[in-house]
Structure 1
Amino acid sequence: MKTLHGLLASSLFLAVHAFYSSSDDVVELTPSNFNKVLQSDSLWLIEFYAPWCGHCQSLTPEWKKAATALKGVVKVGAVDADQHKSLGSQYGIQGFPTIKIFGANKNKPEDYQGGRTSQAIVEGALTALRSVVKERLSGKSGSSGQNRQGGGGKKDVVELTEENFDRLVLNGEESWMVEFFAPWCGHCKRLEPEWAAAAAEVREQTKGKVRLGAVDATVHQGLGSRYAVRGYPTIKVFAKGEQPVDYEGGRTRSDIVAQALSLFSANAPPPELLEILNEGVLKKTCDDYQLCIIAVLPHILDTGAAGRNDYLKVMMKMAEKYKQKTWGWLWTEAGAQMDLESSLGIGGFGYPAMTAINARKMKFALLKGSFSETGIHEFLRDLSVGRGSTATIGGTALPKIHTAEPWDGKDGVLPEEDDIDLSDVDLDDINGRVEL
């Protein structure tokens, strides 16, 4: 018989975990059914939550109301990312709740940055839906999900042989997950579509830094023997510069992708920290990445080289910490890009300052806390889970960027002043006195 304490604990557990039921219009998503999102032509709005999260509990009634209002128009789902960690890892979930929009390109969901009321959620979903419709009207592809399980994904699985294995896997620049298979193996046949779909997604999300390959071990028996393959399929992980290890994870697309992204994150170098020297640097960085993080550092005469390097070290540590996000990182000197500072309201809080720009949405957010590892981490963490305060950049494009000379790494030098000859100046007149 359960004790009263046990009954209360069980009731609390059930209450915490019963966020959504079959009677709600919210679709509960798991690794086993997430393909319905990726293969769908519909736009999906998906909440990643944890049952113990207070903010998630507060969001639940609003999420249900929004799902009911959007029924038949936009799909609304929810993932218990505390239970299904592979999905949370796959989509870079670092806080709860995180809401993502799976639009036309299901491979690249966007973060929802709006409010947490049902009204704001509905408006955000309809705005995203209008963007999808406009893309279709312009002739662009709709859903990317249809190619994931078809022949289109197979081209991303590299056929490995005894002739190319060492060159590509052992001596190449990429990390690899390699499947050793036999054509007659039933388990291998079931794995094939998952492996192909994962290969396409991994190549895109890691920009080719992690690849998926396949070896027919019945043909290339030397490779199977070298890596002690005794059953099919066998999957080995080849991290750059390390000995191969057996992959013991799940065999679904999401499981494979999660392992590949973890491999990418562990071995990827931090993003480069670039000085804004011309318009091309800013445009390329902000166009290529979901967010570009920009620091405006004090003038070199105010900090000297040592002080500036201290600020740059803080930025590089944060770039390393958030490298899985693949954000762009930039910096400039106070006063060098006044149009940029003015359009973003930088300077009102003093220097150093920091902003995060989403160029696709023409939105930005300003760091209000300290320019320190703790302050910047809190700023970026809040942005990544949709809690940051954002504003719209004026105009339809980023501000004008002026060409600047790169910092030479040295202390600043005060400009030389011209000598002034005071021999002909009547100092009494200057001081306001009249000579008697």
Structure 2
Amino acid sequence: MRGQKETLRVLGIFGTLLVTVNALYSASDDVVELSQSDFNNEVIQSDELWLVEFYAPWCGHCQSLAPEWKKAASALKGIVKIGAVDADKHQSLGGQYGVQGFPTIKIFGLNKNKPDDYNGARSAQGITDAALNSLRSIVRDRLGGKSSSSSGKKSSDSKSDKKAVIELTDDTFDANVIGSSDIWMVEFYAPWCGHCKRLEPEWAEAAIEIHEQTGGKVKLAAVDATTNQMLAGRYGVRGYPSIKIFQKDEDAPVDYEGGRSKSDFVARALEMFAESSPAPELQEITDDDVLKKTCDDHQLCVVAVLPHILDTGASGRNDYLNIMKAMANKYKKKFWGWLWTEGGAQTELEDSLGIGGFGYPAMAAINARKMKYALLKGSFSEQGINEFLRELSYGKGSTSPVKGAAFPNINMVDPWDGKDGQLPIEEDIDLSDVDLEDYDKDEL
């Protein structure tokens, strides 16, 4: 027993050390660690200026930024709030703000619902300068009469709470919900239902927060099923409350079967919102910066080497690119980078990834932090690539070290213009000035 306790104690210490090593920020720093559950209360509902870094613990650029971020947080303590979100862990929160690379820094100023992107120097000086400039801008706006009412503070007026929940009827339902590009979470209730009455405040508060965090792209509504019996019958409502989710591309609504608290509703709404966000950009490797920035800023970067344009034409190439775009959309919550190049344009890169012997099209997934890659062995199709990436997402599949343990030199190339390739124009030889009579007929 004593031996078991000692083993557990050692494992506990070892686990603590691992957490400490993996974490970029600790409780002793002036950087406020934020999560999905407290982001709205801490940032959105705050009157203070926030600079928030969305990072991933494995990201090299994030690790380089961390000491500067901490230094800026200490310098701005009591003046500006400096926060950090592990977007690898809180993916829906990163998706909500369009985070596709790490680190991404957002400035939450007077209008918390529309943060600004920070694109300045990644140094403590650059960060503090930007913070103070934003602070001065807020002060000027307030002097000019602008208020921070858009910051997301809850109103104490219960009527405003009810307005966040959209009341729908037999007459208004189809015009608002059916075919809408927004996501609708609809509660079917009965006024006499005790469960419905207990749900009402949770539903109302969730509606406010979801509206703020999704910009109105996810809506919460309510239908009195006792007076709007046509709707209740159409969707098979048998008990109260019943909650159904309506999305544009779905033929029929989906029953909501999660928890009945505000946080449960918010979490599900943000998850759906993240899933409906745009797919990551598919970029052509035209220079060294495109490759290194994409691969350094993402846990994995997926690189395709496509056949020469003369072999496929524009139509064939677009078929391959559309397959990649479909896969990028399918795996967008993974925050991977997506790249492509033409076969033969980046021969050193192909050699470093062992692509040469497989022909085109080919694909490799690269972990730039470990300088390892995995090759697609199956077909270059949605099914083949999906199986390849699914294994990688589960930590399976064989990997190999990148040749030279570093990215090779990348050639600068012109981006593809979207057109068919053109064969080189051969110069015509003008023989009009050549007197064939001067040559011996035997030589001809």
Q: What TM-score comes out, normalization by structure 2 length?
A: 0.54
Q: Secondary structure at the match of 2:127?
A: helix
Check if 1:261 corresponds to 2:270: no
Task: Give the Cα separation in 2 of the matches to 1:236 and 1:28.
Answer: 34
- 1:187, distance to aligned residue in structure 2 (A): 2.6
Q: Secondary structure at the match of 1:106?
A: coil
User: Is the CA contact (8 Å cut-off) linking 2:244 and 2:253 kept in structure 1?
Assistant: no
In structure 2, the residue matched to 1:159 is: 167
Task: Determine which of 75, 96, 103 is the counterpart of 1:97.
Answer: 103
In structure 2, the residue matched to 1:235 is: 243
User: Is the CA contact (8 Å cut-off) linking 2:55 and 2:88 kept in structure 1?
Assistant: yes
User: Is the CA contact (8 Å cut-off) linking 1:175 and 1:238 kept in structure 2?
Assistant: yes
Q: Secondary structure at the match of 2:169?
A: coil
Q: 1:64 to 1:269 in 2, by over 3 A?
A: closer
Residue 59 of structure 1 aligns with an amino acid whose one-letter code is L
Q: What TM-score comes out, normalization by structure 1 length?
A: 0.55
User: Is the CA contact (8 Å cut-off) linking 2:243 and 2:256 kept in structure 1?
Assistant: yes
Task: Determine which of 62, 84, 90 is the counterpart of 1:84.
Answer: 90
Task: Give the Cα separation in 1 of the matches to 2:210 and 2:220.
Answer: 8
Check if 1:30 corresponds to 2:40: no
Q: Secondary structure at the match of 1:113?
A: coil
Residue 176 of structure 1 aligns with an amino acid whose one-letter code is W
Check if 1:69 corresponds to 2:79: no
1:199-278 to structure 2, matched below 5 A, reads 199=211, 201-204=213-216, 206=217, 210-220=218-228, 223-224=231-232, 226-228=235-237, 230-232=239-241, 234-239=242-247, 240-246=250-256, 248=258, 251-252=262-263, 254-262=266-274, 264-265=276-277
Q: 1:118 to 1:171 in 2, by over 3 A?
A: closer
* Number of aligned residues: 320
Q: 1:229 to 1:251 in 2, by over 3 A?
A: farther
Q: Deviations along 1:148-183, whole A, 9 cap, x unmatched?
A: 657667556432123333443345565422233455
User: Is the CA contact (8 Å cut-off) linking 1:156 and 1:200 kept in structure 2?
Assistant: no
Q: Deviations along 1:178-201, whole A, 9 cap, x unmatched?
A: 233455612321221221331354
Task: Determine which of 18, 42, 45 is the counterpart of 1:13.
Answer: 18
Segments of structure 1 that go 5 or more residues without pairing to the other structure are 272-302, 326-349, 351-371, 379-406, 413-421, 423-436
In structure 2, the residue matched to 1:283 is: none
Q: Which runs of 4+ in 1 moved over 6 A?
A: 268-271, 310-320, 322-325, 372-375, 409-412
User: Is the CA contact (8 Å cut-off) linking 2:54 and 2:87 kept in structure 1?
Assistant: yes
Task: Determine which of 159, 176, 181 is the counterpart of 1:168.
Answer: 176
Task: Give the Cα separation in 1 of the matches to 2:67 and 2:180.
Answer: 51
Check if 1:189 corresponds to 2:201: yes
Q: Secondary structure at the match of 1:144?
A: helix
Residue 172 of structure 2 aligns with an amino acid whose one-letter code is N
- 1:65, distance to aligned residue in structure 2 (A): 1.4
Q: 1:251 to 1:13 in 2, by over 3 A?
A: farther
Task: Give the Cα separation in 1 of the matches to 2:125 and 2:138.
Answer: 20
User: Is the CA contact (8 Å cut-off) linking 1:238 and 1:245 kept in structure 2?
Assistant: no
Task: Give the Cα separation in 2 of the matches to 1:20 and 1:103.
Answer: 23
Task: Determine which of 117, 120, 125 is the counterpart of 2:123.
Answer: 117
Task: Determine which of 114, 132, 135 is the counterpart of 1:108.
Answer: 114
User: Is the CA contact (8 Å cut-off) linking 1:135 and 1:142 kept in structure 2?
Assistant: no
RMSD: 4.9
User: Is the CA contact (8 Å cut-off) linking 1:20 and 1:28 kept in structure 2?
Assistant: yes
Task: Give the Cα separation in 1 of the matches to 2:251 and 2:363.
Answer: 30
Task: Give the Cα separation in 1 of the matches to 2:209 and 2:421.
Answer: 53
User: Is the CA contact (8 Å cut-off) linking 1:153 and 1:199 kept in structure 2?
Assistant: no
- 1:219, distance to aligned residue in structure 2 (A): 4.0
- 1:70, distance to aligned residue in structure 2 (A): 0.9
Task: Give the Cα separation in 1 of the matches to 2:280 and 2:25.
Answer: 39
Task: Give the Cα separation in 2 of the matches to 1:309 and 1:137.
Answer: 57
Q: Could you tell me the percent identity over the aligned residues?
A: 44
